[in-house]
Amino acid sequence: MSEVDMRKQHFHLPEGIIYLDGNSLGPLPKKAAERIAQTVTGEWGDLLIKGWNEAGWFYQPAVLGNRLAPLIGAPDNSVVLGDTLSIKVYQALAAGLKMRPDRTVILSDTGNFPTDLYMAEGLIKLIDGDIELKVVPPEQVEDHLDESVAVMMLTQVDYRTGRLHDMASLTRKAHDAGAVALWDLAHSAGALPVDLEGSRAEFAVGCTYKYLNAGPGSPAFIYTRPDLADEAEPALSGWMGHASPFAFDMGYQPSPGIERMRVGTPPVLQMAALDAALDVWEGVSMHEVRARSIELSELFIREVESRCPQLTLVSPRASENRGSQVSFAFEEGYAAMQALIAAGVIGDFRAPDVMRFGFTPLYIDAEDVLKAVAVLEDIMTNRTWDRQEFKQRAAVT
C-alpha cells in the first residue's frame, strides 16, 4: 500500500456516503475533531488569554504557512494564513497594482471564480482610478498580455470545468509583458503539484477548506515572492500585520516579510483544525496524489460516457489540461445532483447545468468511483431526478 492509500482511515466519512465534493469542502480529518476539542478546553478553557503565548496562537498564521508551503512549492517564510480567500485576493491584487502604478488593466478570465472578479471591481471603485478589469476567455489570456496590464489575476483551475492553466508559461508571458502575476490556487492546493517558487509569480492565494480539509470557514493563505515581501503593500493595514502589534503605536508600520499580510486576530479554532488537517498530508507526495487523481478521473469519465449518454463532458478531455475535478453538463443537472445526493453520492451543481465531481485520492478510490457511477446510471436510466422534491433550489447548490 502506498502512503496515499493509507490516508482514508484518517477521515470521518459517514457510512454509506461516497463523497465527491472534496473540491468544495473537504471531509473532517478525525484528528481535527480531537484537536479542536483540545484547543477549546485545554487552551481556550484552561489557558484563557495566556493561550496567545503559551499555546502559540499568535504565531500560528506563520507556523502553518510554513507547514502548508511545501504543498504549493513555496519556500519557508513566504506564506501566511488568515481571513478568507476573497480578502486575500483583494490584498494581493492591491499590492500588485501598487507595483505597476503606470498601468491600467487587471487581466482575468471568464473561468475565474466570481468573488475574485467582484473583489477586483470593488477595489477599482474604491481607488477611483483609471483601472479597467478586462475579463477574456481563458484561451485568450496570453493575447491580451500587453504593456497596459498591471496584474494578471487568474485562478489556475476553473471551478466550473476543471480546466487547468499552465501557470509557469502564463507567468512567463505576463512577466515578458511587464505585468505582475497573481494566482488563485483554491482548486490547486492539495489537488496537484504546484511549483510556485519556480513559476516566479509575485503573488498567490488560496483556501484551506477545499482539498486541504481544514473545515468550513478555515483561513485562507497568501504568498508573496520572497524578494518582494518587504515592499508589498498589504492594503488592509491591520494591527496583526504591524511590525510590532503590541507596541500599540499610533501609526501603522508594516511588519517585514510575509507577516505584513496578516490583518486581525486569527481564527484560533480553525487554525487548530488546519494544523491537524496538515498532519494528514505528512509524507504524502503531491505527484502521487496527482497520478491517482488522474486515474480516478479517467475511470469516471470512461464509465460515465459509456453508461450515461445523457451527460456531456464539459471538462477538458486531456488529463494534463484538467485539475482534480470532472464536470458533466445535463439540462436537469440540479435535480439530477439532488437525486444523486439523496442516494448517497455527493457532488455539487454549478449553474446553469454543470454537475461537478471532485476526485480526492486521500479518501476516494476506484471502488468508490465505480459505485458512484452505478448510482448515477440508475438515476439517469430511471429518470429518478424527475420529481418535484429534487427541483426545489436550496440557497447553496
Ligand X SMILES: *Cc1c(COP(=O)(O)O)cnc(C)c1O
Q: Which residues in this chain contact ligand X in the complex, by CB under 6 A? A: 84-86, 113, 115-116, 155, 159, 184, 186-187, 207, 220
CA dihedral for 201, 204, 210, 214, sign (positive or negative)? positive
Is 356 annotated in the active site? Answer: yes
Catalytic residue among 100, 113, 118, 307: 113
- Which residue, 73 or 82, is less far from ligand X as judged by CB? 82
Q: From the CB of 71, what's the least distance to ligand X, in Å?
A: 16
Q: From the CB of 235, what's the least distance to ligand X, in Å?
A: 16
The order of strands in the sheet holding 312-313 is 312-313, 325-329, 354-358, 348-350
Interatomic CA distance for residues 232 and 91, integer angstroms: 10
- Which residue, 155 or 315, is less far from ligand X as judged by CB? 155
* 209 and 215 Cβ atoms separated by less than 8 Å: yes
* Residues whose CB falls within 8 Å of the CB of residue 5, separated by 6 or more in sequence, listed in order: 365
Is 225 annotated in the active site? Answer: no
- Which residue, 21 or 116, is less far from ligand X as judged by CB? 116
Q: From the CB of 85, what's the least distance to ligand X, in Å?
A: 4
C-alpha Rg value of the chain to the nearest Å: 21
Question: What one-character-per-residue DSSP string does 6-36 give?
Answer: GGGGGEE--TT-EE--TTTSPPEEHHHHHHH
Is 209 annotated in the active site? Answer: yes
Q: Which residue, 231, 245, 226, is CA-closest to 77?
A: 226
Q: From the CB of 184, what's the least distance to ligand X, in Å?
A: 4
- Which residue, 182 or 296, is less far from ligand X as judged by CB? 182
- Which residue, 51 or 65, is less far from ligand X as judged by CB? 65
Beta bridge partners of 157: 164
Residue 298 has which C-alpha cell?
479517467
Q: From the CB of 89, what's the least distance to ligand X, in Å?
A: 7
Distances (CA, A) of 18 to 129, 200, 301, 379: 49, 38, 17, 15
Interatomic CA distance for residues 203 and 95, integer angstroms: 9
Interatomic CA distance for residues 237 and 25, integer angstroms: 30
Q: From the CB of 96, what's the least distance to ligand X, in Å?
A: 16
Q: From the CB of 308, what's the least distance to ligand X, in Å?
A: 26
Is 30 annotated in the active site? Answer: no
* Residues whose CB falls within 8 Å of the CB of residue 318, separated by 6 or more in sequence, listed in order: none
Catalytic residue among 210, 225, 262, 292: 210
Is 210 annotated in the active site? Answer: yes
DSSP percent split of the chain into helix, strand, coil, nearest 5: 45, 15, 40
Q: From the CB of 28, what's the least distance to ligand X, in Å?
A: 18
Which phi and psi angles does 349 have, rounded to 5°?
-130, 135
- Which residue, 109 or 116, is less far from ligand X as judged by CB? 116
Q: Which residue, 222, 221, 260, 270, is CA-closest to 240?
A: 260
Catalytic residue among 90, 159, 209, 300: 209
Interatomic CA distance for residues 156 and 57, integer angstroms: 31
* 27 and 213 Cβ atoms separated by less than 8 Å: yes
- Which residue, 155 or 255, is less far from ligand X as judged by CB? 155
- Which residue, 85 or 92, is less far from ligand X as judged by CB? 85
CA atoms within 13 A on the CB side of 372: 28
Catalytic residue among 116, 184, 348, 368: 184
Catalytic residue among 356, 357, 359, 363: 356
As annotated, the active-site residues are 113, 184, 209-210, 356
